Structure 1
Amino acid sequence: MIIHIVQPGETIYSISEYYSIPVDRLILENGITNPANLAIGQTIVIVQPETLYTLQAGVTLESIALQHGTTPMELLRNNPYLSDRDIIYAGETIVIRYQTNKIRTIATIGYAFSYIDKSVLIKTLPFLTYLTIFNYRVTSEGEIIFRADDTELVNLAKIYGVAPMMFVSTMAEDGIVSREVSYDILINPAVQDRLIDNALNIMKTKGFYGINIYVENITYDNINVIAEYLKRASEIFHSQGYKILITITPATNIDTPNVSFEKIDYSKLYGFVDGIIFSSYDWARSYSYPNAIFPVNILSGFLDYIVSIIPPEKIFLGVTALGYDWTLPYVPGATEATIISYNSAVQIAAENGIPIQFNEAAQSPFFYYMNSDGNLHVVWTKDARSFNARAGLVEEYNLQGLSFWTIMRFDTQMWFVINTQYYIEKLMVNG
């Protein structure tokens, strides 16, 4: 894999000619939305195909996979645009294999709300081991409130060999958790029992593979109580054959230019669960200081600490494809950033003729621009280099895998980078 950085004067045609890859394939594989006006500093992932196949009349993904010794899921990962189709067309060329040196198999987790666009979900499922459905909020009495019917999502996941996981938290859709509800649950075993029983009933009824619990607001003072709660829950869930994961947002300080993590003893938790997802701290960070999102240099320091207290095979590293656009000057607690996709950020840079810069330590692209009202903005986002660096940490630290918040949009380039490095574990029969 080569990550090409667009230079002044380059066009999609000159890059295509240089690497001997057709223009339409470069656009397709990278999800490029601005081919006629590339931004300086934009990333384009280059991977040469090893085996191409021209579709014949009457073939199916299953028959093509059988003929070439691969799987339909691998074909969909190599050609995700096929997921948008009800039929495949004779004469079209698809990639059977790329010239990659995949390191190993990893597990992946995708978080989705119940209202996810089905076409986005179907395109993403081949890349997932688990689908965590963000649909269940708990109350201080241990009741569970669901937002919408997620039966179709559960069934779709299973068709693609993906294990559907019930996500339980006190969190609203805006990312705000209820400390009061969390406290009420932790101090009351009767409430815990009611919550666990309600979760079991939902998992059995809906056909979930297991549960993913968001363990909120962990502190030095409450971690022992949390451990007791997880011990209680895991004994019951495991006895019923369900897998249990927990999601943790590391305690951080993100209100200054220098992000820092608190060294809480998370080792007290891992013995009761099948995996711990350390998710990025930007679930609701739109009022935070303008900076890179989960900078790799800070993340590496955090992982150095975490793998010293938790077996790495229990750890999932959280990744987000989100970027943020801040209006300057930044006013703490008042300046709210706007969520922005990488393609939207690239479009802004291209239209304004602004080169995208790159922070090597954080492994994050950024740039400044003036909007039509004359206000100065700064954008921090992620590109192929960002995803490549974060994916590389899985191998460096021998982690169980990667977790993605969220999969509500399909990030073509991100999945292309992941697909060049890893095979994806499938737990369900259809995978």
Structure 2
Amino acid sequence: MNIYVVQPGDSVDSIAASQNVSVEALTYDNQIYPPYRLAVGQALYIRGGSPPEDRIPLYVFGYAYPFIDPDNLDETLPFLTDLYVFSYGITLEGDLVPPQSPDDWMIDRALEAGVRPVLTLTPFGPDGRFNNSLVTNLVHNPQIQQRLMWNLGRTMQEKRFGGLDIDFEYILADDRQAYADFVKRTTQIMNQFGYQVTVALAPKTSAGQVGLLYEGVDYRLLGEAANRVLLMTYEWGYTYEPTRYR
């Protein structure tokens, strides 16, 4: 797969010839219809194309619920590196709470497409919302952490997950250091078994930003603790929110 950006003077014929694909494949894959008008700067999907040698590999992932439409998942998988399965909750005892819908089918499809399925861990309470009491209980109790690590390892191996994403939100300011220590310990354990750990972070505009979503998140500590960090800037706006009238 390759992405070609339309240049001045390009046509579907010239692009197809330069990328060694048929005009039919180019127009079909990009939903281009007669008279085949192109816009400079337009990005085109090239089936089976070879990327330039100097191109930096792009890490692309997406969160998905197990109730996602199968056709939507199949259409998206060719463009993903990882598929983040959302999500597994935790109990006060350190047991995992699996998604309400079965996720085996989407794990199978991801693996068939060469995409790595990632287990997303969230501190969801019985109401399905983030519960910072679960976070406090976990990060200050080594025995509960040990039980959670065992449950994670077993589940990830049995279900063939290839990585772990820790998505904890609304962390209390008093849990700031303990949460970073938990992520560090989890990463060390998971790395021993070949799993990479990502930590999802609320998007902050300053280190001292006030608010329940931000005060328990230390970018430096968490960046040092995990293999990869994700800034959830999508929290600044969602495509499905209602129209705002001014």
TM-score, normalised via structure 1 length: 0.43
SS of 1:325 mapped into structure 2: coil
For 1:109 and 1:250, how far apart are their aligned partners in 2?
A: 18
* Residue equivalent to 2:105: 152
Deviation at 1:219, TM superposition (A): 5.4
Partner of 2:29: 79
Establish whether residue 118 from structure 1 lines up as the match of residue 35 from structure 2. no
Deviation at 1:159, TM superposition (A): 1.3
Q: Distance in 1 between matches of 2:86 and 2:191?
A: 21
Change (3 A) 1:79 1:172: farther
Structure 1 regions of 5+ residues with no counterpart? 4-17, 23-47, 56-63, 65-74, 82-93, 254-260, 283-292, 295-319, 328-376, 379-431
C-alpha distance in structure 2 between counterparts of 1:125 and 1:173, whole Å: 31
Structure 1 counterpart of 2:242:
325
- Corresponding letter in the other structure for 2:119: M
Per-residue deviation at 1:270? 2.2
| SS of match in other structure, 2:61 | strand
Identity of aligned residues (%): 25
CA distance, structure 2, for counterparts of residue 252 and residue 176 of structure 1: 25
Pairwise CA distance, 1:326:
3.5
Matching of residue 274 in structure 1 with residue 227 in structure 2: yes
Residues 150-169 of structure 1, C-alpha deviations (whole Å, 9 max, x = no match): 11111111111111000110
| 1:53 and 2:22 aligned | yes
Q: Could you tell me whether the CA contact under 8 Å between 2:165 and 2:197 is conserved in 1?
A: yes
Q: CA offsets, 1:296-354, max 9 Å, x none?
A: xxxxxxxxxxxxxxxxxxxxxxxx6x253245xxxxxxxxxxxxxxxxxxxxxxxxxxx
Alpha-carbon distance in structure 2 between the residues aligned to 1:263 and 1:145: 24
Partner of 1:107, secondary structure, is coil
1-structure distance, mates of 2:113, 2:58:
17
Does 2:157 match 1:204? yes
CA RMSD, aligned part only?
A: 3.8
Larger % of strand: which? 1
Question: Shift of residue 213 of structure 1?
Answer: 0.9
How many residue pairs get matched? Answer: 216
Describe the superposition over 1:363-411 as per-residue Cα deviations: whole angstroms up to 9, x where unpaired: xxxxxxxxxxxxxx36xxxxxxxxxxxxxxxxxxxxxxxxxxxxxxxxx
**Residue 233 of structure 1 pairs with residue 176 of structure 2:** no
Code of the residue aligned with 1:236 in structure 2: it is I
Q: Distance in 1 between matches of 2:126 and 2:229?
A: 22
Partner of 1:107: 59
Gaps of 5+ in 2: 32-44, 207-213
In the alignment, is residue 214 of structure 1 matched against residue 167 of structure 2? yes
